[in-house]
């Protein structure tokens, strides 16, 4: 049975630590509860599937049902040179990577310490240090809240791209589990910036060394939501026309530019664009950019959604005026 709580405080269930109450809140931790969800949706109409809350911007009052996914369990199958590992959506992402490493299934090390759950990982195709989760996903099991059927999506059907997938446009698809194909020999993706130089001092670094290095690097650069409210990178790195990027690079030679598979587009660093305006560590009221990484917005006090969006608009306008680039907000606004 699903148990629904009324007027539930979700201020501690979102990593930005925004003050927020959900009109209705329920925990999903058993497949048998799926059949009750439909009735709940008829009662409450509006709904939102919550994982770890590390990529969302919640309003002061959410006038609908929050379905908090806490399905747990991991299965691992030997498939020759690979393992097929299926994790339920409510597994904690970083614990899952640790589990895979301990069982000899590698490849996800670069995505270590990203907060949140396994079920959310395909939603925005999480990525870090040159790796994206799409490279390892073979299948996603979803529950379609519209027709109450369990369905399976292949990797191709997910339409993955930079911080995007088909799941973003299908909020009725509740992810139940994700299957990953992980090699038994680590691909050791360590060509990314300072990761490469840090690992060079270790002789024959292992997948665990790579994971340790990623964790150490992230801890030194990103604020922990346990210490100060934040949602990691607040803006996407803009993807712009390569001719325009080349012109910008002439004006700003230090601007980090990353070539894309389609050569007519180039990704540029949103953090650099903000930092170059002197806005790293800038604060207005409860919100500010993090003093070690301008791309992260932190909540210094008890800020609300509207204050945060005002602060974000200020940054967006400054970037637009100076570089003629439109920044897009990464976390999902409820």
Q: To 10 degrees, the CA torsion angle through 182, 183, 184, 189?
A: -110
- Other Cβ atoms less than 10 A from the Cβ of 167: the count is 23
Distance, CA of 175 to CA of 233 (rounded, Å): 23
Q: For residue 225, state whether it binds ligand FAD (rule: CB under 6 A).
A: yes
Q: Which of 27, 101, 105, 127 binds ligand FAD (CB under 6 A)?
A: 127
Give the 3-state secondary structure of residue 235.
strand
Using CA atoms, how far residue 205 sits from 103, 127, 189, 212, in Å, is 18, 22, 11, 11
Q: How far apart are CA 296 and CA 229, in angstroms?
A: 10
Residue 219 or 313: the one with the smaller Cβ distance to ligand FAD is 219
- Examine residue 174 and tell whether it contacts ligand FAD (CB under 6 A): yes
For 65, the 3-state DSSP assignment is strand
- Bridge partners, 241 (sequence order): 265
- 15, 91, 163, 186: the catalytic one is 163
Q: Is 210 in the site for ligand FAD (CB under 6 A)?
A: no
Please list the residues that pair with 49 across neighbouring strands: 67
Catalytic (active site) residue 165: no
With a CB cutoff of 8 Å and minimum separation 6, the contacts of 153 are 139, 140, 142, 166, 173
Cα dihedral 326, 327, 332, 333, rounded to 10, equals -70
Question: Which of 137, 140, 210, 231 touches ligand FAD by CB under 6 A?
Answer: 231
Strand pairing class (47-50; 265-268):
unpaired
- CA 197, 202, 208, 212 torsion-angle sign: negative
Q: How far is CA 198 from the centre of its chain?
A: 25
Q: Is the CB of 51 or the CB of 101 nearer to ligand FAD?
A: 51
Quick one: which segment of 108-116, 256-264, 271-279, 313-321 binds ligand FAD (CB under 6 A)? 108-116
Applying CB under 6 A, the span of 180-188, 228-236, 300-308, 317-325 interacting with ligand FAD comes to: 228-236
Judged by CB, which is closer to ligand FAD: 29, or 244? 29
Smaller CB distance to ligand FAD: residue 89 or 153?
89
Out of 107, 115, 238, 303, name the contact with ligand FAD by CB under 6 A. 115
Please identify, using beta-carbon distances, which residue of 49 and 245 lies nearer to ligand FAD. Answer: 49
Pick the catalytic residue from 15, 165, 186, 233. Answer: 233
Does 132 qualify as catalytic in the annotation? no
The nearest distance, CB 158 to ligand FAD, in angstroms, is 12
* Shortest Cβ 331–ligand FAD spacing (Å): 7
Nearer CB in complex with ligand FAD: 135/318: 135
Distance, in Å, from the CA atom of 89 to the CA atom of 308, rounded to the nearest integer, reads 29
Q: Binding string, 43-62, against ligand FAD, x = CB under 6 A? A: -----xxxxxxxxx------
- Hey, how many other C-beta atoms are within 10 angstroms of the C-beta on 115? 22
Segment contacting ligand FAD (CB under 6 A): 78-86, 125-133, 252-260, 277-285? 125-133
Q: How many Å apart are CA 216 and CA 36, to the nearest integer?
A: 43
229 contributes a contact to ligand FAD by CB under 6 A: no
Active site residue 330: yes
Minimum Å gap between C-beta 150 and ligand FAD is 13
Q: Which chain residues interact with ligand FAD by CB under 6 A?
A: 15, 48-56, 69, 89, 114-117, 119-121, 123-124, 126-128, 174-175, 222, 225, 230-232, 332
Residues designated as active site: 163, 233, 330
């Amino acid at each position: 049975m699903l148990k629904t709580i009324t007027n539930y405080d979700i201020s501690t269930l979102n990593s930005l630590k925004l003050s927020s109450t959900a009109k209705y809140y329920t925990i999903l931790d058993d497949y048998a509860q799926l059949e009750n969800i439909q009735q709940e949706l008829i009662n409450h109409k509006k709904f939102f599937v919550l994982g770890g809350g590390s990529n969302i911007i919640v309003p002061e009052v959410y006038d609908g049902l929050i379905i908090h996914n806490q399905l747990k369990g991991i299965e691992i199958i030997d498939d020759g040179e690979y393992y097929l590992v299926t994790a339920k959506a409510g597994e904690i992402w970083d614990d899952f990577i640790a589990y895979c490493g301990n069982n000899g299934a590698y490849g996800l090390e670069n995505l270590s310490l990203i907060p949140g759950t396994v079920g959310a990982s395909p939603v925005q195709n999480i990525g870090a240090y040159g790796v994206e989760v799409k490279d390892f996903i073979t299948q996603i099991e979803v529950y379609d809240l519209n027709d109450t059927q369990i369905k399976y999506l292949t990797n191709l059907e997910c339409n993955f791209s930079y911080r995007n997938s088909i799941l973003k446009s299908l909020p009725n698809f509740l992810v139940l589990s994700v299957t990953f194909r992980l090699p038994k020999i680590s691909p050791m993706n360590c060509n990314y910036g300072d990761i490469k130089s840090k690992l060079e001092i270790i002789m024959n670094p292992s997948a665990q060394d790579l994971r340790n290095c990623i964790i150490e690097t992230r801890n030194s650069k990103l604020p922990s939501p346990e210490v100060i409210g934040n949602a990691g990178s607040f803006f996407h790195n803009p993807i712009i026309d390569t001719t325009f990027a080349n012109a910008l690079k002439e004006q700003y030679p230090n601007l980090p530019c990353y070539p894309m598979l389609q050569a007519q587009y180039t990704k540029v660093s949103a953090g650099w664009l903000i930092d170059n305006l002197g806005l790293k560590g800038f604060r207005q009221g409860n919100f500010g950019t993090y003093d070690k990484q301008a791309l992260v917005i932190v909540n210094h006090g008890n800020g609300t959604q509207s204050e945060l969006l005002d602060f974000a608009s200020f940054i967006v306008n400054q970037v637009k005026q100076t570089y003629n680039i439109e920044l897009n907000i990464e976390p999902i606004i409820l």
